[in-house]
């Protein structure tokens, strides 16, 4: 029964992530000549995710090694690792290590393709 609850929770968290990314792509585009820093884009993604979680859940950037961490008093719920191009092998390994070490129910690594308004998980 506990495993089923964890699966349902992970599905809900993923659905919030998906909706948050839709909201992210609706934000005004940052001009290409500005080339925003990784943390600035992480902050925009986090801001898009924030309204989709209860007030008791925090959404932070650059925390515990994750680009974006969604957590509550019990611990991490979602760890996100992302790249503005295809994810390099070392980023994938970092996400896997974080997931295995941190006991995070859901860890996602994804690539953003803003020009095409899509992302690859």
Q: Residue 2: pLDDT above 80?
A: no
% of the chain residues with pLDDT over 70: 86
**87: DSSP letter:** P
pTM above threshold 0.95: no
Region 57-61 average pLDDT: 96
Between CA 20 and CA 82 the distance in angstroms is: 14
Kindly indicate the confidence band of residue 87, based on its pLDDT and cuts at 50, 70 and 90: confident
Residues 6+ apart with CB under 8 A from 52: 16, 19, 20
What pLDDT score was predicted for residue 115?
66
């Amino acid at each position: 029964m506990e495993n089923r609850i964890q699966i349902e929770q992970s599905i809900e968290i993923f659905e919030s992530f998906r909706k948050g990314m839709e909201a992210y792509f609706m934000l005004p585009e940052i001009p290409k000549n500005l080339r925003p820093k990784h943390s600035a884009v992480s902050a925009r993604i986090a801001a898009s995710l924030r309204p989709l979680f209860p007030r008791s859940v925090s959404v932070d950037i650059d925390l515990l090694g994750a680009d974006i961490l969604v957590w509550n008093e019990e611990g991490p719920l979602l760890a996100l690792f992302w790249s503005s191009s295809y994810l390099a092998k070392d980023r994938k390994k970092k996400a896997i290590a974080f997931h295995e070490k941190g006991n995070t129910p859901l860890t996602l690594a994804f690539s953003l393709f803003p020009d095409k308004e899509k992302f690859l998980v």
